[in-house]
Each structure stands twice: as C-alpha cells, then as structure tokens.
Chains A and B, each alone.
Chain A
C-alpha cells in the first residue's frame, strides 16, 4: 500500500507544452512538498503546503503552480515547458513541518524530459 504516490512516473513532452504531475499521500499527514532534483543532483524544495495552505514558495518561475485540493493531494502544474525544466520531481509529505526534524516521506519521483 503506497504511502506517497506520484503520477506519471515518466513524462516526455515538447517545449511550450503544459503538463501536470499529481501526488497523493495516504499517511494522514498535514504537510506536503514538491522538490526538484536537477542534473547536478541537488534536491531543492520548490513548494510546501500545510493543510492546503501554501507555506513555502521558493524562487521558482511562476510557470510552476501548485494546487492542493485537499490535504492528501498536492499537484504541480507547469506551463510553457522549457528545456531547463527537465529534472526529476519528487513529492513528499510529513506530519508537521520538517524544519522541526519531522521526517518526510517521499514519492518515487516523476522524471520529466522536455525536448
């Protein structure tokens, strides 16, 4: 029974397209996150929601828009895709904010390739 799931696992698309990645957690956690792991392998926070409220919004192009319909779901929509958006995107969740040492549970990742 998957704790944090993401769909799709792989996404190949052309520049200029709009795409969405979905994330769901069945752990009953209050906080969800989106991370980007780029070609240099850094895992960087993009957004975080706590009980459907945006609490972290890092310096991310406004082509990226998170949506949290309820606290079990956090989707990521990307407009006008660019080559530099190619990366692995991870969703994660935690009971509270992880700055307090609360461990995060990660999804398997979505590998986005923009051609």
Chain B
C-alpha cells in the first residue's frame, strides 16, 4: 500500500527546457514534503522542501508546488541542465520522526 506515488518512472527532457516531476500522496495528515536527488552509487541528497502551510517554495532553478486538496506536489526545474540527470525522490512527513519516500523518477536531461 503505497502512501507516496511517483507514477512516472522516468522522464527525458532537453537541456534548457522545464522538467516537471510529480508526486501524489494519500494521507492528508502529512504536513512536510521534501524532494531528494540521487546520483548512482551515492546516497540521496536534500534538494528542497515545503510545509503544508505554503503552496510554493522556490530555490534558484528549483520550485516545489503543493496542492493539498489534490494531495499532489510537483518539482519544477527550469532551465534543466545535464547535471540535473539523476533519480528524484519525493518524501513526506507528519508529526512523527518518519519520512515516507516515493519510488523515484529517473530524470535524463539531454544536451
């Protein structure tokens, strides 16, 4: 029973264009949402987060959008760069210490 779903296993984008990665969750009690990036043979690294009191958070080329009514969040990367090619995980948290991760989306940015 997946509480966090990333329905696109992979995404291919041209350099300079926008990358949009999506994530859906099932539990409305989650109130923190994070994106992690993972390169092969490395651990995930934190990218950006948003709390449930906001609907948008921006950090440079990365913007996370939260739609609480739809239980949906997305990560926008613009402009996309070849170095952005990695697996992106969304993760959600609630009032406990636990994060629940999605399965990840492999982003490939083509030069």
Chain A interfacial positions (CB closer than 8 Å to B): 4, 31, 40-45, 48, 50, 55-56, 90, 92, 97-101, 103-109
Number of A-B contacts (CB under 8 A): 70
**CA of A26 to CA of B34, assembled, Å:** 23
Residues of chain B within 8 A of A104, CB atoms compared:
46, 99
Q: Are B45 and A106 in contact (CB-based, < 8 A)?
A: yes
User: With A56-B96, A105-B46, A109-B42 given, is the CB distance from A99 to B32 under 8 Å?
Assistant: yes
A91 nearest in chain B by CB position: B43
Tell me which of A44, A100, A101, A106 contacts B44 (CB under 8 A).
Answer: A106
Q: A40-B103, A41-B104, A100-B32 are in contact. Are A106 and B97 (CB under 8 A)?
A: no
Other-chain residue from B36, B41, B95 in contact with A99 (beta carbon distance below 8 A): B95
* Chain B nearest CB, measured from A7 CB (Å): 14
0 or 1 for each of B44-66: is its CB under 8 Å from A? (1 = yes): 11100101000000000000000
